[in-house]
Structure 1
């Protein structure tokens, strides 16, 4: 047995330790008085900070919607506790930086400062976003500081194919893959492909043997067929026949019988799984709902404002997460109620889009698109991997497509309408059938991030115009007695926007249909159905869980606002008023004189537009300042609820889906018109397979290049990030020259009045702003001008990084363009200026400074004849001045004032985008 350790004997020369009465830490006698004195000073400072924080909390308490408990650090290094304090369990909080000590659990009560004044306060960022994930996720709360540089992006996941060494597989050679990708990308027909292969085979294009192994068009098609089967992530279309028996439901003999519909469709659940299991999409996916709050920091966490942006911040997703079974692996499982799963329960909300469009003068196509709302909007609303998936086309039997509505009698028209609705419902039911059982019971599988979860799919958002929505919900048209898809508002009360009306629900509407079917006569049945605005059809989502079809119907800014209230009502009235006043030409002249702006069409003759898409009406609406008793106006009262439940309106809009109609037109043009839908889905499969393979090949090249660079210069070792205040990048450079030569060159140009005395003015500006350089008149200043600048700024809408590309060019597409900017000044935080020149000035010691030569605007006393609320008129100065680029916040859009002969008066327009609206109206 080991020998017993002897107790160490105390030495006579060892100093005695004294315990501090303030912090209870042992100290040597020599430093003890100074230590106690500093501890008392620190304690007084902490007490004063605590009092200030409590006073600030009382003042801000009236304004705060919700208050979080104070976050305080617990001292873990005490030598002897003065009194027992129970420390709460720690909850990790990712603040974008590493705090010195862990933060306490947000869900547990903090330590009381009155009971233990030795607990110091946590210093939080001055402005930040607090994100609290749902409890099923098991993830910590996170804090995103808004006054710090954004966190570094994590390295993206590269896509891998079936053979990492040969990413172009299943093609034999890289040349075969490249040739096929080019044919699919440029939509080459069989005739053109055959001509190119013949040139390769006969030696017209190459001498000797070609690397392309294809000999005929059939070889290319066979390779594409194999690619559709084996390329990862591709969901193929299935072909089936749907039979609709309308024998017993028909009132007339003409439409009595069975109708067969050939349907090419993608299994919706296979599409969902392909997205969820994709490792490249996992970093851009949010599997659980979150609560987001904009907070002001310091010593007290306040839920100052609830933030809603993506669908996972909405109320509906959170309610579904609450209703799903809990996870037995959670550390707080004793607090869960109801059934529990072995794996985390995850709601997979879906966005469905339907709309018909003309692909020729006589043919309409009716595509169905699906999107995954857990994928970030920047990816799911774009084309490519993670974007919308085509589920199929709604098609009608030939005997119905060839029926002329005008030749039908009254009863035949009713049969025809009900038969089309029944077929419409049957097709959608078949396409979404694989989601029905899984919405109730879920399915457990491995997600793209490597974690097993039980997934419960559901339809959260339906984006359709009203005609499509009426067919989807099986409700009556806009002229019905109860036309609203969300509530039972009578038609004559549509203008009462503030009055509450009973909302539709699946259970209530299904009960109405059941009661109607029990009525003895058709008249009694129709009366009951009309009183709820329904048809005698069961809506397909009634049998789904977590899918309320009436809540899912959403406010569409394209059809309800831009192309609806404005395009079909307001704009027509505006044109009529302009014609009656004889001001049409003057209005078009004002529209033509508007400056150009990135991302917005320049419309010259707006009053000549008789029909346009909703995006065109939106551009007109941005460029002008703007007895409703119809459905689209009534639907405005549902918009706030839709935002609270499902996120902001950009996620519900049909606008992203409208771009797919162009693809539909392109696909139809490549068919021969016979069984066009079948040919079009094969074209879509080919494009998706090759796009996926293109991504795999591109990622393989990027990995090889990155590995080569890392091995060459040791770039695999990541250095600590450094902060930088530079938020701009100059572009389109001109020649570098001396400031005196630049003045002479610009003086000879048409803008000579701005550059008179430029050299002296630049030297005076640099001498006043940077006196340490002591620039003499004899020294040469080097100047380089630029024609564009890229400005990075943080959006006030969602604090996301945004970019403006501003032009400062004498000839931009044949026209001079000098954009305006919004900059920060001491006298006015909303100062405006016009760019005259963008400069990089190099002083003799080698340092460079980026400057803007601008003409500032000042507020004018002139007012227009129609002085609207918030009208601001600014006057452009005649002299130019220098402005450091670090003071520029973002670009601005100014329109020349009408109703005056003065050419230096302008209206700042706040309707260009949401961030501009908040800034110009000084809304925090």
Structure 2
């Protein structure tokens, strides 16, 4: 008798998804890891918790009060009043022993004594026939680095060796870049270090920019912020322990002394105060026993310089906007900044040093050489540090160059100018399209844009994305040839911006950047030619020879050299300007400004240090309590057992299915036959999702369902392969307005489609149990006439909604991620997929197009 049991196939070993090759000097073998293991540091022995981590404060309550006082920027009078009140009524688990602001300041000073203090320096600058003196308060970079190295909470997170990382794409391992240590520059620097020592680079990221401290801008601060590139980006770019730290600052009032001269001389003179010992250790190294008990020779390196164009001119000492070579990285001539199809020689520190030597020997001859290179006759402070060529360290600043520059200023200005030429109706139509643009959690919603200018680079970033889709129905080729050409430029700009902003880059995405630069270059030249020879619009831009047109030309080089753009963006550092201004306005007396502000900042750093210790103690106590109770440490963010989603905002009570149909079907055809449609879906479609039914399920009229208005949706990002989260709404009155979001779902095993959420609910399905469904309107209807010309010219993805009465049910487990679809007002029920809401959607649409 033969058996009907089929033999099970032999298990096939899946190849490890990730491979990491370490620098040969590290002596480490290549590491192969599966997805769950990649990026996770090997387990290390837990450090014993400090039983009194709030020391040198006398109690935990004293420390927690100081945190509140610092966060609220309380002044002396407010602190004295609050402490007086607390002293009269305090009781409970902790004791507050502080009695006035003096006690608090002393306690903070004691805590800050664990960190290297700031030192006051006088910078003497010759100016005409006099000598000017400026005060600079600085903390030497290496002293700050030792504070980081001595912190046991940060110690396990340091990365020392250069790495080449790969992900298996199904056929082979593909090289990718993300953190600074995955870039070529780190690898090359480690190769140049002493071979007979366990030598590794300690890499600094330095950011500089001025900030207005006073309300009228008469008092300005010039802070330099340091970050450690050896720490992972989540720590390095965070606001907590291990994040950015102001390491020098000076304040000044504008006067007769030329701003350019001030920046050129004072900046580099003050910068020298940061580099104490760094010049020596960059040559000889610094012996340090690391967390893993390995003795390493640390060689300090200025790996990345971050700043806007004005600061980059100061860091590189080029002459600025109108010099012969106005790029701080390469020698592109002034009149060829707009031509992205050409490549020019990269600047080098050695060329600048040679030119300065010629100047010192013969000023006339040297001035000509320096002018030809666009350089100033000043020695660069960064030349003192080995492996720290400022032209290699300077990096693309997406915030100012793109979002607050090319896109957020110049392209938006051109768009507004073209709309103004078309008249008020075109402007009103555009304004209405912007106001009607779907809301999205990570996207600013605008109600007026024509006669308002935003100074915030993040708002400009969002506005360019929205404006492109809002202008599609207004700037038709027949109506505005200039506008249609401009849309091509903006479309390519948005694609480049999305590509450059990826958190992980592969050889494929880098090749896409190269290809798209050629498209952008062609579109911009076409726009310039039409604006120059044909357009009658007054003031339209014909001269695009300015640095921000060119600077992103070096994006690929920066990514391959120093990792992805968020490693050197100014965006994380701009956040530090607010606290500095707040400290000046709320907590200083307007005198000796730099000293007072840095003292406050120093206190905040001490508070962060103690907060890290307290959190460690609290976490160990929590885990101990769980262990004592026989419980596991679960991730409570993933409550739903069905996987990657969680419903929220439930209605107060469940309704019968008949009540819902009766209440909603009259106003929305999607609910007509709601009960019958659900019964058919459960019986005919659920089995295709893997649910076995033993009998035909009947849905009675009193069948109970509970509506939900919120969906938290977790998904694996196609960019960095980590979890991302969308927050979707199906709410008739979300903050006073209807909000029905769209999503990308897995309709069948082979097909993904876009849908609009109509209704989300939970119910008990017989023989299955609790189940979560959504009533959705699919965007799967055919488009009359096929693809439109505008879709081909501007590379748009168009979808069309089926009639509301043809809405369908889908399990919520079929949802992939959220989506934004912009309505085309000229074609009923047709929508354009907004692929620039985030990097994941951009890559998904790229794959879909292929």
TM-score by length of structure 2 reads: 0.82
Give the match for residue 173 of structure 1: 59
Change (3 A) 1:819 1:717: closer
Displacement after TM superposition at 1:131 (Å): 2.0
Counterpart contact for 2:640–2:646, Cα < 8 Å: no
Q: Kindly state the Cα deviation for residue 782 of structure 1 after the two structures are TM-superposed.
A: 3.9
Per the alignment, in what secondary structure is the counterpart of residue 607 of structure 1?
coil
Bigger mean CA offset, 730-739 vs 696-705: 730-739
Structure 1 residue runs of 4+, over 6 Å off? 148-161, 207-210, 721-725, 862-865
Looking at structure 1, the residues matched to 711 and 31 of structure 2 have their Cα atoms a distance apart, in angstroms, of 34
SS for the counterpart of 1:340 is coil
Q: Compute the displacement of 1:745 (Å).
A: 7.0
Provide the C-alpha distance between the structure 1 equivalents of 2:86 and 2:399, rounded to a whole number of angstroms. Answer: 49
Give the Å deviation of 1:801. Answer: 1.8
* TM-score using structure 1 length: 0.76
TM-aligned CA distance change 1:736 to 1:707, over 3 Å:
same
CA 1:420–1:717 in 2, change beyond 3 Å: closer, same or farther?
closer
* Bigger mean CA deviation after superposition, 487-496 or 907-916: 487-496
The answer as to 2:789 corresponding to 1:873 is no
> Displacement, 1:635?
2.0
Partner residue in 2 for 1:772: 694
The answer (yes or no) to whether the contact 2:60–2:94 under 8 Å persists in 1 is no
Give the aligned partner of residue 226 of structure 1. 110
> Given that residues 185 and 561 in structure 2 are in contact (C-alpha distance below 8 angstroms), is that contact kept between their aligned partners in structure 1?
yes
Give the count of matched residue pairs. 752
The equivalent position to 1:130 in structure 2, one of 2, 16, 19, is 19
CA distance in 1, matches of 2:365, 2:751: 67
Note if contact 2:161-2:200 (Cα within 8 Å) is conserved in structure 1. yes
1:505-904 matches, cutoff 5 A:
505-519=348-362, 522-582=363-423, 583-625=426-468, 626=490, 627=528, 628-669=544-585, 670-713=587-630, 715=632, 726-735=643-652, 737=654, 739-740=656-657, 743-744=660-661, 746-747=663-664, 752-768=668-684, 769-770=686-687, 771-772=693-694, 774-778=696-700, 781-826=703-748, 829-845=751-767, 847-858=769-780, 859-861=782-784, 866-867=790-791, 868-877=793-802, 878-879=804-805, 880-900=807-827, 902=828, 904=829
- Return the offset for 1:553: 1.0
Unaligned runs of 5+ in 1: 1-40, 47-99, 101-121, 326-338, 406-412
Structure 2 equivalent of residue 89 of structure 1? none
**2:137 touches 2:250 (CA, 8 Å); kept in 1?**
no
Taking the TM superposition and a 5 Å limit, the aligned residue runs for 1:328-477 are: 339-341=195-197, 344-359=198-213, 360-361=215-216, 362-395=218-251, 401=253, 403-404=255-256, 417-418=260-261, 420-477=263-320
Contact 2:408 2:464 in 1 (8 A): no
Q: 1:207 to 1:644 in 2, by over 3 A?
A: closer
CA RMSD of aligned residues (A): 3.2
User: Who is 1:306 aligned against?
Assistant: 175
Q: 1:488 to 1:922 in 2, by over 3 A?
A: same
Equivalent-residue separation in structure 2 for 1:623 and 1:500 (angstroms): 32
Q: Secondary structure at the match of 1:516?
A: helix
Aligned to 1:95: none
Deviation at 1:743, TM superposition (A): 2.2
Cα drift, residue 596 of structure 1 = 1.0
Between the aligned partners of 1:765 and 1:497, the Cα distance in structure 2 is 55
Asked if the contact 1:149–1:723 (Cα under 8 Å) also holds between the matched residues in 2, the reply is: no
- Indicate whether 1:268 and 2:109 are aligned: no
State the shift of 1:563 in Å: 1.1
* Equivalent residue number for residue 165 of structure 2: 292
> Cα gap change, 1:404/1:702 in structure 2, threshold over 3 Å: closer, same or farther?
same
| Contact 1:158–1:280 (Cα < 8 Å) also in 2 | no
Structure exhibiting the larger radius of gyration computed from Cα positions: 1
2:540 corresponds to: none
**Alignment partners' CA distance in 2, 1:208 and 1:887:** 51
Unmatched runs of 5 consecutive residues or more in structure 2? 1-6, 469-489, 491-527, 529-543, 688-692
Return the structure number with greater helix share. 2
Distance, in Å, in 1 between the alignment partners of 2:600 and 2:224 is 16
- In 2: Cα distance, 1:921 partner to 1:323 partner: 40
Query: How far apart in 2 are the matches of 1:450 and 1:852?
Result: 55
Q: Is residue 661–residue 675 contact of structure 2 (8 Å, CA) maintained in 1?
A: no
Once the 2 structures are TM-superposed, how far is the Cα of residue 502 of structure 1 from its aligned partner? 2.2
Report if the CA contact (8 A) 1:809-1:817 is conserved. Answer: yes
8 Å contact 1:158–1:699 — kept in the other structure? no
> Following the alignment from structure 2 to structure 1, what is the Cα–Cα distance between the partners of residues 429 and 147?
55
Q: Are 1:200 and 1:210, in contact at CA under 8 Å, matched by a contact in 2?
A: no
| 1:170 match: secondary structure | coil
Hey, what does 1:94 align to over in structure 2?
none
Is the Cα–Cα contact under 8 Å of residues 746 and 752 in structure 1 kept in the other structure? no
Residue 910 of structure 1: CA displacement? 0.8
Question: What residue number does 1:481 align with?
Answer: 324
Equivalent-residue separation in structure 1 for 2:713 and 2:41 (angstroms): 20
Q: How far does residue 435 in structure 1 lie from its aligned partner after superposition?
A: 1.9
**Structure 1 residue 737 displacement after superposition:** 2.7
3-state DSSP of counterpart to 1:187? coil
CA deviation string 1:466-510 (max 9, x = no partner): 111111211101100111111222212223333332221111110
